[in-house]
Amino acid sequence: MKVFKFGGASLESVERIRQVGQIIQSFPEDKLLIVISAMGKTTNELEKVAQNYYLRKREIAAQLLYNVEQQHMQVAEALLGNRENPLFTQLQQFFTEAEWTLGEKPMRAYDYYYDQLVSLGELLSTAIVSAYFNSVGIHNTWLDVRDVFRTDDNFRDANIDWDITQRQVTEKVLPLFNNTSIVISQGFIGSTDQNESVTLGREGSDYSAAVFANMLDAESQTIWKDVEGLKNADPKLFPNTVNIPEITYGEVIEMAFYGAQVIHPKTIKPLQNKQIPLYVKCFLDKNLPGTVIKEVADIKQLPPIIVLKKNQVLLHITSKDYSFITEEKISGIYEIFHGLKIKINLMQNGAISFSCCIDNNPEKIELLIKTLHNDFKINYNEGLELLTVRYYQDSLLEELSNGHPVLLEQRSPTTIQRLWKK
Ligand SMILES: Nc1ncnc2c1ncn2[C@@H]1O[C@H](COP(=O)(O)OP(=O)(O)O)[C@@H](O)[C@H]1O
Ligand SMILES: N[C@@H](CC(=O)OP(=O)(O)O)C(=O)O
């Protein structure tokens, strides 16, 4: 069994969906569990539906949802040739459910409604791809992952219940392969024990695929991207990047942790735990060698690995009464960050101050300041970038820094992090 994952970029047009079909047809001997994300930028569009709904701007929300509906109907029609296929009834049902949500008065927290609306993207894309594949002879079974992936109710960042999910994978997914060699399911979403839809965190489909790979004891997982493989930096941000043919799980988990937006950070653990290799391949040209990620990599020296995180904020938290910021106070501050789901990207502390770099999220920063302001004075700098380089050389670092004023720096023998004003 192999697990494949296709992301939004590989499904952003009718042409690309046909290309995905050709890739699948080149694996006639394999049993494939295929995890699919929402098409193109659908998740961003559905986020806007959820935001407007919650702000009581129902008409705008309904119009935005209608736009998503039209886009999907057009793609489905272009792929299937007409609107006769039962797929169109299925799509209509998904939209009707979303419209019901828009008709409700919001009584619960925003994150709950976000998940009910945003999960639609993956349901639509998988239904369309599955119906199209069946129509061109790529026989497959569509699986609603919400019947399998059981999570808690931590909406927008739900945690998988491994025992229940493993049982459901064994009881409900494995038997499907007795009658079909291809199962198509959704990334990024799951369900609570109350049958409420949840999402697993943005860009979480890589992780969903890894959960399936782990629970199905797959021989490998492949994520199909618009790049030739895993590179030493994002080719959209840096010229002259190089492809890395082999790399270890450990190295990739570090890259993802520092913010490389190519693989979701949670993807590696389920694969490492079962020693399942992860391939990164290019859906534009499947003959390119790509990258294999595994326990031990046969590579003498890695190139410098560069990660740039934009839109960062540096917070300076200083105790008002000059009390020291040591273990007890730091643990209190950390608890507040944890409660607000704010990830600290870099931190440093002094006698009466604590500085940390976080992603710029104005609503969360406002809440944080409200929570801390009784005991602490808070200043912050916006418009920053955080550069991380592993296996750095000073000459490269100076070239990348390009004279930007550095506000915070941390260095170990292998890794340097520099926060600067752009
Ligand atoms: N180190 C890296 N190597 C390759 N691609 C990278 C790297 N860092 C960031 N990227 C970006 O990741 C993108 C592919 O990931 P993503 O857009 O999430 O794909 P999908 O949504 O299809 O899964 C590439 O287009 C590239 O710009
Ligand atoms: N559609 C979700 C999940 C995902 O993983 O997407 P992608 O594979 O396109 O990054 C998102 O955009 O966050």
Residue with CA nearest ligand 1 atom 16: 262
Any residues with Cβ below 6 Å from ligand 1, and which?
A: 7-10, 37, 203, 225-227, 230-231, 233-236, 260-262
Nearest ligand 1 atom to the CA of 261 is 9
**pLDDT for position 359:** 96
Task: Name every residue whose Cβ is closer than 8 Å to that of residue 79 and which is 6 or more positions away in sequence.
Answer: 14, 17, 18, 128, 131, 132, 135
Pick from 156, 160, 206, 200: which is nearest to 361 by CA? 156
Sign of CA dihedral 64, 14, 267, 160: positive
CATH superfamily of domain region 2-225: Acetylglutamate kinase-like (3.40.1160.10)
State the pTM of this model: 0.95
pLDDT of residue 300: 79
The residues near 172 (Cβ < 8 Å, ≥ 6 apart) are 143, 147, 148
CATH architecture type of domain 305-421 = 2-Layer Sandwich (3.30)
Nearest ligand 2 atom to the CA of 264 is 5
CA-angle at 320, arms to 314 and 324, nearest 5°: 85
Kindly identify the ligand whose nearest atom is closest to the C-alpha of 189: 2
The Cα–Cα gap between 295 and 274 comes to 10
Q: Report which DSSP code applies to 413.
A: S
Shortest-distance ligand to the CA of residue 126: 2
Any idea which ligand is nearest the CA of 208? 2
Q: Which of 249, 256, 245, 165 is nearest to 203 (CA)?
A: 256
Residue listed under structure tokens 């101050």? 353
Cβ of residue 190 lying under 6 Å from some atom of ligand 2: no
Six token digits for residue 315: 């917070």
Tokens matching residue 225: 């991207």
pLDDT by residue, tens only, the chain of 422 residues:
999 999 999 999 999 999 999 999 999 999 999 999 999 999 999 999 999 999 999 999 999 999 999 999 999 999 999 899 999 999 999 999 999 999 999 999 999 999 999 999 999 999 999 999 999 999 999 999 999 999 999 999 999 999 999 999 999 999 999 999 999 999 999 999 999 999 999 999 999 999 999 999 999 999 999 999 999 999 999 999 999 999 999 999 999 999 999 999 999 999 999 999 999 999 999 999 999 999 998 877 899 999 999 999 999 999 999 999 999 999 999 999 999 989 999 999 999 999 999 999 999 999 999 999 999 999 999 999 999 999 999 999 999 998 999 999 999 999 999 999 98
The pLDDT of residue 98 is: 97
| C-alpha of residue 90 to centroid of ligand 2, in Å | 22
* Mutate which of 42, 205, 267 for ligand 2 pocket (most atoms within 8 A of beta carbon): 205
Torsion of CA 314, 318, 324, 326, to 10 degrees: -30
pLDDT for residue 123:
98
Q: What ligand 2 atom has the least distance to the C-alpha of 121? A: 1
366 CB burial (10 A radius; 0-12, 13-18, 19+): exposed
Task: Please name which of 170, 158, 213 lies closest in space to residue 34, comparing C-alpha atoms.
Answer: 213
Residue 76 burial class via C-beta count within 10 angstroms: exposed 0-12, middle 13-18, buried 19 and up? buried
Q: Whose CA is nearest to atom 10 of ligand 2?
A: 203
* Domain pair 2-225 / 305-421, same fold: no
- Which of 221, 234, 292, 390 best tests ligand 1's pocket when mutated (most atoms within 8 Å of CB)? 234
pLDDT of residue 301: 85
Q: Is 270 in the pocket of ligand 2 (CB under 6 A)?
A: no
- What is the distance between the alpha carbons of residues 375 and 397, in angstroms, rounded to a whole number? 38
CB 40 less than 6 A from any atom of ligand 2: no
Would you state the pLDDT for residue 370?
95
pLDDT at residue 77, as a whole number = 97
Q: Regarding beta strands 305-319 and 346-349, do their DSSP bridges make them parallel or antiparallel, or are they unpaired?
A: unpaired
> Token match 């790529």: residue?
138
101 lines ligand 2 (CB under 6 A): no
**CA-based torsion, 36, 39, 42, 44: positive or negative:** positive
Q: How much is the pLDDT for 84?
A: 92
Q: How far is the CA of 8 from the centre of ligand 2 (A)?
A: 6
Atom of ligand 1 nearest to the CA of 305: 1
**Taking the CB of residue 157, how many other CB atoms lie within 10 A of it?**
16
Polymer length in residues for the chain: 422
Domain spans, the chain = 2-225, 305-421
